[in-house]
Chain A
C-alpha cells in the first residue's frame, strides 16, 4: 500500500527557507501515470495548492507562490522536496504531500488520491 511521509523542521525563522521532503513507500515515484504535489493548510483555514512535479522534473506551481517555491524530485531516494524561500508568518501551516493520478478523458482528470499525514510548520523567531 502506497504511503507518503512528510519530514522537515517544525520551526522556521522569518526570512529563512522552509524545506520539506516527502518519502514515498510502497510504490515508485518514477511511475509515468502520477504527479506528486504539495498542499498546505493554515490554522483554521482551507486548502491551498503549492505545486506538483513529475518524475522527469516537470513542474506546475501556484502562481501566487511561484516566485518563492521550488519543488524537486530525487528518484533514487523515492522522494520529492519543497523549498519555500523568504518565509513569513503567513507560511505557517500544515503541509501535506500527495499523489495525483494524471489522466485525460475529454478533459484533464486531476485529483489527489493518496495523502501524507501532514507536518506542521511554524514560522516564528
Chain B
C-alpha cells in the first residue's frame, strides 16, 4: 500500500458529462501530481500542486482543471468528456527535497461511452 488513495477506482460516464476524481496523498506529502495514461501509453504529466498552489502544468486540456485543498487532498475535474478522455488517471505524491520516489495511487479508470 503506497499510502495514496484515489477514488473512485472505476468510472463509466457518457460523452459531454463532467466527473471529479479525488486523491488523498500520503501523510506529510505536500506535492500532488496528476498523470493520464491512455491505453498502452506512457504516463502523461497533467498538473502538479504543492501545498495548495499550482506549481507546474503539463499537457492538460482546458476542459480539465484541478485543485488542492487545505487538507492537501486534490481533485481533478474533467468536463465535456470525449471518448478520447478514456484513460487511467493516476495521482502521485511526494515530499519536496530529499531522495524520494513519487508514490502512486491505484489509479482511476475512466471510461467514456
The answer to whether A and B assemble together is no
